[in-house]
Chain A
Amino acid sequence: GQNIDQPTEMTATEGAIVQINCTYQTSGFNGLFWYQQHAGEAPTFLSYNVLDGLEEKGRFSSFLSRSKGYSYLLLKELQMKDSASYLCAVMLPNRLAFGKGNQVVVIP
């Protein structure tokens, strides 16, 4: 089976930095995706890592360590609109396996 773990919820202050962790144990690995999902909306693509290291895209960065089965999403300069659920998903052969998501609440 596939096991993808994320903390369920965290609260952070506007302007701060927050790190969202994801650990995985899966049969197969072709890369790791991060998606953002606002309440009542569809998941939207944020980032994709296939090699170890840090990928930076504006205020968002994603890190991957394949040997440790670990990834994190770093959100900098938090804005109120960043309040959402953040889902990590492991690319298996031909399909994605999602974690349950980490709900981030941004407070003023």
Chain B
Amino acid sequence: DAGVIQSPRHEVTEMGQEVTLRCKPISGHNSLFWYRQTMMRGLELLIYFNNNVPIDDSGMPEDRFSAKMPNASFSTLKIQPSEPRDSAVYFCASSAGGDTQYFGPGTRLTVL
């Protein structure tokens, strides 16, 4: 069984550039979550979707961040323009009916 798939695994970009992170949830899971993890703030929920619909985006730091889920098997998190303080590991997780969440391997983002 494939777990949650994320790409890219590493991204290095310059300040001001657009960054797009991708996630494929576990097949059959109807909830998808985007998290950001830093040493200072730990693991923070950015946004989550239920049945492809955004339910809670209160964790999205500002308008530079946007997320979409066009279908049940794909989601994107976009940062435009990126800033050095966005450097973090971004995790995608999925669950079936709000149960245990299973995390992808993460994308390590570095903004120079």
Give the size category of A's interface with B: 10 to 19
Given known A-B contacts A99-B42, A100-B42, A101-B42, A94 and B56 have beta carbons under 8 A apart: yes
Query: Which chain B residues border A45 with CB–CB below 8 Å?
Result: 100-102
What separation, in Å, do the CA atoms of A96 and B103 have in the docked complex? 13
B45 touches A94 (CB 8 A): no
Is chain B's binding surface mostly helix, strand, loop or mixed? strand
Main secondary structure of the interface of A (DSSP, over half): strand
Q: A48-B100, A95-B45, A100-B42 are in contact. List 18 more A-B contacts (CB 8 A).
A: A41-B106, A42-B91, A42-B105, A43-B91, A43-B103, A44-B103, A87-B43, A94-B50, A94-B56, A94-B98, A96-B33, A96-B101, A98-B43, A98-B44, A98-B45, A99-B42, A100-B43, A101-B43
Which A residues are closer than 8 A to B by beta carbons? 33, 41-45, 48, 87, 91, 94-101
